[in-house]
């Protein structure tokens, strides 16, 4: 008995130590980014990246918020695309997954294979660009940022796996009570699928929040530039100024006073900060059973 207790304690200690190491591996790099963003440029050049800066400075954030209108507009575009894309993506993904998860759907196998088959091949970048600009005419449109991420066959397959765990008797009971397919889907299936919707919705929102490549392809209007593309442009500008200091100096610009290193970290904080606070609100859904409450009345 004592040996069993000792083994359990050692196992628990090993698991706790493992997760402590994993937590530190995640938290420490983020803490370093925050500290570097609050360091002066001279301190970084002389002492390198440090968890406790030799000299504190908010110069990087002053440069970022010197023109807040541009940053706020990019935030607005990103938030609009993220919210609309996540909602639309969840509705399309869950509806397709619900259909192919139904046992009484005759073509469930063929439809599932059709969805899975699209994961194996891609049309390529050039046909994608031609489709979006020449046929759909979505150049300089927010739809060009929303439509490409609306549907992922991988998320459909994951959602199908969740929905197949819902007892089919629930759907049959709703049908006997006179509920239509749409009413069953909206009033019964979606509430039971909250853990799956929260998980996949979080992944979809992360995808939209971090997306910049489609914006680079299709957005030329500066008023429609999302946050991540703005970050890429700022970093490219900083790299150009840093590499061509002699040319920049001939224009009368003093690059020695410009926080080129700390501003990179400050931009990472400004861009990634809001989405980091969204995750805790979804965490409680990850550990809930899919059909909690469904069989209890």
Tell me the CATH number for domain 67-286: 1.10.3720.10
**DSSP H/E element including 184:** helix 181-184
Exposed / middle / buried, residue 192 (Cβ in 10 Å: 0-12, 13-18, 19+): buried
Q: Quick one: pLDDT at residue 80?
A: 93
Tens of pLDDT, residues 50-87:
888 888 888 888 877 877 788 888 888 999 999 999 99
Q: Give CA–CA dist 171/177, Å, rounded.
A: 10
CA 111 to chain centre: 28
Tokens of 105: 């759907």
Q: Quick one: pLDDT at residue 89?
A: 93
Q: Give CA–CA dist 236/242, Å, rounded.
A: 10
Q: Quick one: pLDDT at residue 87?
A: 94
CB 195 within 8 A of CB 286: yes
Tens of pLDDT, residues 252-297:
655 556 677 788 888 888 887 677 776 666 666 655 544 333 434 3
Tens of pLDDT, residues 90-106:
999 999 999 998 888 88
Mean pLDDT to the nearest integer, 161-172:
84
**Does residue 235 surpass a pLDDT of 90?**
no
| ∠ CA 137-140-141, rounded to 5° | 75
Averaged pLDDT of the chain: 82
Mean pLDDT to the nearest integer, 24-42:
86
Which letter, b or e, does each residue of 74-112 get, where b requires 16 or more Cβ atoms within 10 Å of its Cβ? bbebbeebbebbbebbbeebbebbbbbbbeeeeeeeeeb
Non-local CB neighbours of 2 within 8 Å, separated by 6+ positions: none
Domain boundaries, the chain: 9-57, 67-286
């Amino acid at each position: 008995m004592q040996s069993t207790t000792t083994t359990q304690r050692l196992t628990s200690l090993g698991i706790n130590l493992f997760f402590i190491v994993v937590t530190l591996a995640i938290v420490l790099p983020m803490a370093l980014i925050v500290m570097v963003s609050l360091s002066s440029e001279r301190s970084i050049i002389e002492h390198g990246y440090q968890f406790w800066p030799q000299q504190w400075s908010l110069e990087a954030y002053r440069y970022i918020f010197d023109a807040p209108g541009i940053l706020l507009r990019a935030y607005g575009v990103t938030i609009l695309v993220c919210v609309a894309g996540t909602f639309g993506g969840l509705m399309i993904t869950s509806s397709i997954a619900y259909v192919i998860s139904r046992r009484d759907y005759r073509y469930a196998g063929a439809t599932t294979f059709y969805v899975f088959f699209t994961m194996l091949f891609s049309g390529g970048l050039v046909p994608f660009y031609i489709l979006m600009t020449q046929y759909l005419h979505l150049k300089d449109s927010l739809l060009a940022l929303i439509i490409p991420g609306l549907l992922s066959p991988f998320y459909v397959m994951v959602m199908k796996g969740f929905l197949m765990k819902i007892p089919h008797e629930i759907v049959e009971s709703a049908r006997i009570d006179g509920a239509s397919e749409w009413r069953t889907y909206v009033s019964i299936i979606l509430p039971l699928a909250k853990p799956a919707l929260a998980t996949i919705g979080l992944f979809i929102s992360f995808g939209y929040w971090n997306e910049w490549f489609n914006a680079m392809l299709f957005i030329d209007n500066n008023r429609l530039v999302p946050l991540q593309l703005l970050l890429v442009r700022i970093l490219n500008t900083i790299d150009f100024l840093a590499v061509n200091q002699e040319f920049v100096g001939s224009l009368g610009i003093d690059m020695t006073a410009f926080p080129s290193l700390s501003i990179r970290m400050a931009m990472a904080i400004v861009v990634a900060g809001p989405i980091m606070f969204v995750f805790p609100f979804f965490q409680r859904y990850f550990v809930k059973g899919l059909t909690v409450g469904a069989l209890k009345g």
